[in-house]
Amino acid sequence: MGGLAHYLEREGLATVNIALVYKHAAIAQPSPRALWVPFWYGRPLGAPNEPLLQRRVLDATMALLDEPGDRLLKEFSEDAPAAVGALEWRPPFDLPRVEEESDRKALADALREEVAIVAARHEEAKAGRNSSFVGLSGLSLMGVADLLVDFLHAREETITSTRRPGLALKFGAQELIDAYAECVIAAGGADSPFGFRRWYWHETTAGLTVRHVADIAKVSPDHRARMIARHGSLLPREWNFVPGP
């Protein structure tokens, strides 16, 4: 749609665009006027059954037509409301907890303990579903945990000896999310994707570890790992987005 906007502009028709990825809109400038919204992909107007919020998004988008100049990229200041109960939701099984301030050794030990529990549950979940999204990295879940620990301790000799460690890191981090999600689905599911997302990134050792590893990978000797970490392929948008000119 952003590319189409340029053709319409050439014919004298003013256009506006809603952008879901700030960096793309800032760098590629797909439309002369764009409103960046901090919403989930596929939800440019915020959330279903929220007509007042959706109207405010549309009003803010159309208001760009009244502003002078072109190459406008404005930020919508509201977040979409989370699903009811998203802040309170927990999965129907327990995992060991680790403190945010834990040192790297404690974090590594807790990660291996947690992933061992999830791996066992995931085998049961996979058998019940007869399918899984896990497997693209070529590593077992414990293998992914070991790779994260190597990054956590900045063991360059181990990381660089891994075939394409950057891609293994990217795929492995995603497979952990998939494995945890498949365990949750097998246990009855979450009340909403918001609940699962908050729980995984804020309450699991895996989420905490990947957050630490993302910072470490930004200075990794492996250029793919650096690129993946620096371009926001490991973390949710709230940890990657930095507004700028």
Contact status, residue 116 vs residue 223, Cβ threshold 8 Å: no
How far, in Å, CA of 69 to CA of 130, rounded? Answer: 56
Quote the CA–CA distance of 177 and 196 in Å, as a whole number: 10
Question: Would the pTM count as exceeding 0.85?
Answer: no
Which DSSP state fits 39?
Answer: -
Q: How far is CA 78 from the centre of its chain?
A: 19
Residue 132 and residue 66: Cα distance in Å, rounded?
50
Residues 70, 9: Cα–Cα separation, whole Å: 11
Q: What is the pLDDT of residues 17-63, one digit of tens each?
A: 898 878 777 776 766 888 999 887 778 898 778 899 999 999 999 99
CA atoms of 227 and 237, how far apart (whole Å): 16
The secondary structure of 145-172 as a DSSP string is: HHHHHHHHTT-HHHHHHSSSHHHHHHHH
What does the pLDDT average to over 159-169? 72
40 vs 15 pLDDT, higher one? 15
Query: How confident is the model over 90-146, as pLDDT tens digits?
Result: 898 899 888 888 899 999 999 999 999 999 999 999 888 778 888 888 899 999 999
Q: What are phi and psi of 221, to 5 degrees?
A: -70, -15
- How far apart, in whole angstroms, are the C-alpha atoms of residue 220 and residue 227? 9
As given in the structure block, the two tokens for residue 189 are: 């599911």
Query: Alpha-carbon distance 64 to 155, whole Å?
Result: 50
Q: Where are the beta strands (DSSP E) in the chain?
A: 17-19, 33-36, 72-75
What CA–CA distance (Å, rounded) separates 117 from 84?
29
User: Comparing C-alpha atoms, which of 120, 109, 124, 119 is closest to residue 205?
Assistant: 109
CA 243 to chain centre: 17
